Amino acid sequence: MIFGWLWAVFTVIAAFFQTLRNAMQRELTRTLGTVGATHVRFLFGFPFALIFLIGLILGTKVPLPRPGWTFWPWVIDGAFAQVAATATMLMAMGQRSFVITIAYIKTEPIQVAIFGLIFLGDPVSAPLATAIVIATAGVIIMSTKPGGMVGGIGPTLIGLLSGGLFALSAIGYRGAILSLGTPDFVMAATFTLVVGLAMQAVTLSLYLWLRDPAVLKAILQSWKPSLFAGFMGALASQFWFLAFALATAASVRTLALVEVLFAQLVARVAFKQKTTAREAAGMVLVVAGVVLLILAH
């Protein structure tokens, strides 16, 4: 019975740490650029994920999984869709309000539900579908403003594209975790995280070394704030993956909409952005959708 609620606890924790990481990456974008700030979460996140895995092995004596061939397409999809999603998210953040960008990206649950049903056979019940629609309506209300979209259609499309890529990434990682077939969900989640981050760190490091070594040098010089962003990213991903191991990606990513509330808090405290009445109404719907989701489980 406890496993039935663990996924929700893991998801809320992950959403909180991810909000902190997003805020730090937003600041790093100003000095490192989009690709550089994107790389920070992977390059500096990988060592922490590796420490998580080593600690798990030493603490539990659970053996490492032996992934079959089906594991690799899933984890490759998860890893590189996440790279593209993070880059487009940071592009959108550079052009719009922090909260509004997060809101556009959080239209993701509808896409996750569709992709999960098609690729993984994850069921979408009527209560879950209703929760997704209500919560997504909330983020759409938060995102639209009278008199047109601030910043034009460009940032909006980038934010929506980022949400779609995050959806594909979530499905890929859940597929990878399930393909391992190990009874220990913590090991399956942690192993998948390490493999994914290793792919991302090596690929982006090679890309920057060949195309823009100055950015790679700047990342290393900004190691103090990058270390914090990397740690928060690895911590958030660890809890996302634990949640994916226990529940459908649609359930996890719908509950993850609480990140909009965390983003609002960060925006008020760190970026001095005010909450409008429209944004407040949208947040009420987000909360209502999340409550319905929890009651449906």
Q: Report pLDDT digits (tens) over 56-87.
A: 999 998 999 999 999 999 999 999 998 888 77
In this predicted structure, what is the pLDDT of residue 1?
A: 43
Burial pattern 221-248, b for ≥16 Cβ within 10 A else e, equals ebeebbebbbbbbbbbbbbbbbbbbbbb
Q: How confident is the model at residue 100 (pLDDT cuts 50, 70, 90)?
A: low
**Structure token pair of residue 58:** 């030493």
Per-residue pLDDT tens over the stretch 161-197? 888 898 999 999 999 999 999 989 999 999 999 999 9
Question: What radius of gyration do the chain's Cα atoms show?
Answer: 18
Indicate the domain borders of the chain.
3-296
SS3 96: coil
Instruction: Please state the rounded mean pLDDT for residues 283-291.
Output: 84
Residue keyed to tokens 């823009």: 212
Higher pLDDT, 181 or 291: 181
In this structure, the dihedral spanned by the alpha carbons of residues 51, 55, 58 and 62, taken in order and rounded to 10 degrees, is -100
pLDDT at 248: 92
pTM (2 d.p.): 0.85
Q: Give the integer Cα–Cα distance in Å for 279 and 140.
A: 9
pLDDT of 84: 87
